[in-house]
Amino acid sequence: MRERRDAAAAAFQFLSRFPVRSQPGFSPELLKRSVVYYPLVGAAIGLCTAGGAAAAALLLPPLPAAVITLILWVGLTGGLHLDGWMDSADALLSYRPRERMLEIMKDSRVGAMGVLACVLLLLLKVSLLAALLEGSSWFELPLLLLPLIWSRWFMVRAMSRWPLARAGEGLAGSFAGLPPLHEKRALLSAALLSLAACALPALGGTAAWPLPLAAVLLLPGAAWICGTLAARRVCSRLGGLTGDIYGALNELLEAVLLLLLVLLQHNIQ
């Protein structure tokens, strides 16, 4: 029981800014066990984000409500994955040799490509949130959990399925040799959390079910397909993945799944 508690605490401390008071440490073995709880962290961030979105939408028009929702979303993650997104954009969009791209990722400074990628990503997210808030009923907002759950599940899959670009270096090296069982447990956790998130639309009656049913069936597959294509593309250029790439994959999949959610909303309702 203590091992599970420490693993969950490590996951929340590593991926979020929730005030977890436990001091489990960050040994490689503990970090590997903690990945099982990554979808749970995503669900917790998503639940807070959905609650903030509901409150903001009651008081404000969709666009400013979406901006406030995104501020809360980024704040709960501490911008961790955005940092990886920017570093990855600086490296991969430089079109330099492999070794130079890896050096760029290690540089703490952000370049022009990283800034552009971050601005465009945030603009896309805020526009999608505004569209979602404008077209959703309050009981559909828990569907916001799904992009955050499945993007973090794919990070676990990426750790398990693809090699490291810098073997043994950086924090990503702590996840080397991740047991396949951890990925399967994370998948089960993501599936159960998704079903729970889609249960609330039942309060809206049977007419409200098509959207959550389509979302829970299509978003996991979209995460797997898009994440796999992106990870393979990065591996072909870097020879493996890095910690920054894990964060970039998370940001990419959050945006893709949010886009798919908006498309489903506008075509089903």
Cβ neighbors of 105 (< 8 A, separation 6 or more) are: 87, 88, 90, 91, 242, 244
Digit-coded pLDDT (tens) for 143-154: 999 999 999 999
Query: Using alpha carbons only, how large is the chain's radius of gyration in Å?
Result: 18
Does residue 27 sit in helix, strand or coil? coil
37: part of which helix (H) or strand (E)? none
Q: Is 58 exposed, middle or buried (0-12, 13-18, 19+ CB in 10 A)?
A: exposed
Short-list 179, 205, 197, 208, CA closest to 257 = 197
Count of beta carbons in the 10 Å neighbourhood of residue 170: 14
Q: Note the pLDDT of residue 269.
A: 63
Q: Give every residue of the chain whose pLDDT is below 70, as ranges.
A: 24-25, 168-170, 201-208, 269
Q: Note the pLDDT of residue 202.
A: 59
Digit-coded pLDDT (tens) for 61-115: 999 999 999 999 999 999 989 999 999 999 999 888 888 998 888 888 888 999 9
Q: Note the pLDDT of residue 205.
A: 55
94: part of which helix (H) or strand (E)? none
Does residue 241 sit in helix, strand or coil? strand
Which amino acid, one-letter code, is at 241? Answer: L
